[in-house]
Structure 1
């Protein structure tokens, strides 16, 4: 069943990198559906991201990308057990708002393209 769970992430400007245990419900949902919904921010300053998800093994992530993730998250999942999987989430729709008056213009990306 889909759910919202806290995950560390790194954003490279194109994709969001997240890491979760291979056998976790989150990992299974990402693997089975190829879809993700991210909630980023605080309760009054929200960004919602609908994204496609692709799984890669920890060995297939370039070292430079790992270093960005480790610096941002202060954690290297390659050194821990159980085994972890890496997911790259490519935003398709992004919505952002703070107050009710911002709801009409909250969609800032649609079909993977930024709106002006």
Structure 2
């Protein structure tokens, strides 16, 4: 593979990741059932208090797969500008969500506010690992967070 642009520094990649988390609307969420059946779905999200906050129907495989372990992988971007986040998700009932978080979610999603709708549950993902790269020349230093701590 030929690259035309120089590799970004890890500091620049972290800045780019935080900007995408603040501005992007959707991401891909990957989970697996207890018997290993994969599930990959797009969900809208908000970056809230250093966590990802999203919402889905509690009966959907994504919500069911996150119990009890809560392990999840999410991605932003296309194949030439990847942000890969591994973390732990916890379900949060709308009535238990801090009003500021629910307001931020509703504002980003053009007024859609599921906090008082029983079929829906919020999922709060706490990142444990973050990797970001564009081309082969960024693969060597793609790890930006490990064990929940930013490396840069």
TM-score under structure 1 normalisation?
Answer: 0.90
User: Unmatched 5+ residue regions in structure 1?
Assistant: none
Residue 50 of structure 1 corresponds to 86
User: Unmatched 5+ residue regions in structure 2?
Assistant: 1-36
Q: Select 1:76's aligned residue among 113, 126, 129.
A: 113
Q: Deviations over 1:42-66 (max 9, x none)?
A: 2311100000111111110111111
- Residues 95-106 of structure 1: matches in 2 within 5 Å? 95-106=131-142
Tell which structure's C-alpha radius of gyration is larger.
Answer: 2
Q: Deviations over 1:84-108 (max 9, x none)?
A: 1111100000000111111111110
Residue 109 of structure 1 corresponds to 145
- The aligned length equals 115
Q: Select 1:6's aligned residue among 42, 59, 68.
A: 42
Residue 17 of structure 2 corresponds to none
Change (3 A) 1:96 1:26: same
Greater RCO, 1 or 2 (C-alpha within 8 Å, sep 6+): 1
Q: Is the 8 A contact 1:92 1:110 kept in 2?
A: yes
Looking at structure 2, the residues matched to 31 and 73 of structure 1 have their Cα atoms a distance apart, in angstroms, of 26
**Deviation of residue 34 (structure 1)?**
0.9
Runs of 4+ displaced beyond 6 Å = none
Q: Is the 8 A contact 1:2 1:26 kept in 2?
A: no
